[in-house]
Amino acid sequence: MGHRTVERTQMRREDFTLDVSDVEWVETGGDPQRPTVTIDFDGSRTDLDERLTGSEEQALDADETDVTLRLQGDPDDPTTTGVVAVTDRVTGGLLLELDEDADDVLRFVRAARTYGERSETDDGGYRVVVAVDGEPVRAYEKETFLVYSEDGDLLRSRSLIPGGVEL
């Protein structure tokens, strides 16, 4: 089993945009739909592919990644921002990150939680699509979305954590 060292291309937070879909049904009382977050990269697909490749030279699977929000202020303040990050679960390495309005992300997490409670599926959760200039590169089905305070404390009540999972 070889270990590789990869020189990562610099990717700035502003190189990424985030868009959510299938969350409106929660407020309108519609039929449950799995929420989707699309993270679009304004750069090279080759650079993004390198970021999303694990140490075994294969694309990282959903269970090898974590998605988090680190708040930059009071979670009850609607003007608070946060940093959304996707990391390699095995190495802890940062794959990508972007700044976002915390209220929008927390709304998405609530929709994902509600989807799990109201849908007929056992897994609940959400989908993450990583794209380059609008073209999907990877899609992950996820069940966990961890939210941290600005001090780094896990905010369990604001996070999406499947039943039976110990953190």
Using alpha carbons, select from 131, 123, 105, 102 the residue that is nearest to residue 34: 123
Under the banding of pLDDT at 50, 70 and 90, the label for residue 30 is confident
Residue 118's pLDDT is what?
Answer: 83
Residue 2's pLDDT is what?
Answer: 42
The DSSP 8-state label assigned to residue 89 in this structure reads T
- Which pair of structure tokens corresponds to residue 8? 């990562």
The DSSP bridge pattern shows strands 81-88 and 94-101 to be antiparallel
Strand partners, 81: 101
Distance set, CA 7 to CA 2, 47, 51, 153 (Å): 16, 11, 10, 31
Least confident of 1-5, 10-14, 110-114, 128-132: 1-5
- Which pair of structure tokens corresponds to residue 140? 């992950």
By the 8 A CB rule, do 23 and 35 touch? yes
How do residues 64-119 score in pLDDT, each as one tens digit?
Answer: 999 999 999 998 999 999 999 999 998 889 999 999 999 999 999 999 999 988 87
Evaluate if residue 4 carries a pLDDT over 50.
Answer: no
How do residues 127-167 score in pLDDT, each as one tens digit?
Answer: 999 999 999 999 999 999 999 999 999 999 999 988 766 65
- Which pair of structure tokens corresponds to residue 118? 């109201």
Least confident of 7-16, 56-65, 76-85: 7-16
How do residues 64-75 score in pLDDT, each as one tens digit?
Answer: 999 999 999 998
Distance set, CA 106 to CA 12, 20, 85, 129 (Å): 23, 11, 14, 18
